[in-house]
Structure 1
Amino acid sequence: FFRVHTMDDAEAKALRKAEKKKRKLEAAAAEAANGGAKTEETEEERKKRRKLEKAAKKASKEIGQMQSLVSKNSDAPEDTIANPLLSGAKVVSYQNDYSEVQFITPIAKPFSPSGEKLTKKLLQLVNEAYKTKSLVNGIKLVRKAATKKVEGICVIAANVAPLDVISHLPGVLEDAGCPYIWVPSRYELGLACMQKRPVSSVIIKKEGLSAEAAHTFDKVKKIIKEMHKQALTSA
């Protein structure tokens, strides 16, 4: 389903794309600023210019993070990323030429590895929940559903960065009594949701699932709860 690329190819491709985006945004922001200098800026033009400048700064920051993330250690294998905070980090490329950095964030417990039977079942359940409109998609909506104590299983991607984006979620889920598990890829989680963009977290709601899917849901939920118990015991 996927193949691991050498770091040189992945780094060059990702950085070229990010730098191209940055140049476009900076050019648009400069054009907006020059246009505003000739005549007095309207409120709409000012908002547009500020928005473009903000987007350009964000793109610049993303490039810096990307360069830091994919910097290689001379002793590291070509398919891995040398960063002590990113466990097992590697660049993975899919059949549609999309590439992502996969790693296990330090708080990703319990974790279901790529290729495991449980991971496959989880992604299948996500897909089934999407088809039956029994899926909550996105960090904000997941948090909201959890606080309402919706009966479900939360699936979180372990390669979300920066960590601050998602670090609060396990505590929210534990307080709500909602079992959760981490999987390797935001992109694969997005594919299971029938989306082209990566997805960071979802809740699979039992309500609305077919009888067969509901049975799988119960089995998976039991396994996840057992994994949480083991994690607490070994902590």
Structure 2
Amino acid sequence: MGKIKTEHSLDSPDAKDRTDQDSSIKNNEKPEDMNGEEELTYEQKLFFVNAIAQPMASKKTAGRIFKLIRKANQHKTPQQKPCMYIGLKNVQTRIRKGDRGIVIFAGDVSPVDLICHLPGVCEEKGLPYIYVPGRRDIGAAMGKSGGTLVVLILLHSEYEESYNKVVEDIKKSSNAFGI
């Protein structure tokens, strides 16, 4: 059955909550997420990253990375080789087997021992890698509600320009840290 729409008077106790929420949406503020928690800003997310999360993507680079993840996620076909590998085990396997691409790490992984060996492997194999502040951001870019620790994005002709921009940004940020 359908929902019955009712009119609430402005005197009801929840009317103030609705009007506050409506005004925040009109002012282009982000409403609270599904769990009732407010979305953290990029700068606030940086407080939760690990000590080894270097090089960290700038806000602009992180936006480009999430856009690239969205594009790579759209190219899922069973007939072709995937354009993106998701998760620690899959990424480790693909790197070991010689796949080339960009490795994106979540900076808020705990315990850090889960991924601390992978940046060294990436450097050894010559793969560009970078950290973003939150694993939930990576998951959200893929359209998932959960988070992801690490993603390997392979080059594809559909998003080659975006891929190359991200690689350039990673090289710039890696040089700044002496990596």
- TM-score under structure 1 length normalisation: 0.54
Please show how residues 1-235 of structure 1 align to structure 2 within 5 Å: 95-97=33-35, 102=45, 103-113=48-58, 116-133=59-76, 134-207=83-156, 209-210=157-158, 213-232=159-178
Cα 1:94–1:151 change in 2 (3 A) is: farther
Deviations 1:36-83 (A, max 9, x none): xxxxxxxxxxxxxxxxxxxxxxxxxxxxxxxxxxxxxxxxxxxxxxxx
* Alpha-carbon distance, 1:148 to partner: 2.5
Aligned residues: 136
**Bigger Rg, structure 1 or 2:** 1
Cα 1:129–1:105 change in 2 (3 A) is: same
Cα 1:191–1:230 change in 2 (3 A) is: same
* Greater strand share, structure number: 1
* Alpha-carbon distance, 1:147 to partner: 2.0
- TM-score under structure 2 length normalisation: 0.69
Aligned identity (percent) is: 30
Give the root-mean-square deviation of aligned CA atoms.
Answer: 2.1
* Alpha-carbon distance, 1:98 to partner: 6.7
Stretches of structure 1 that go unaligned for 5 or more consecutive residues are 1-92
* Alpha-carbon distance, 1:149 to partner: 2.8
| Higher relative contact order, chain-length normalized (CA < 8 Å, sep 6+) | 2
* Greater helix share, structure number: 1
Matched residue SS, 1:232 = coil
Stretches of structure 2 that go unaligned for 5 or more consecutive residues are 1-30, 77-82
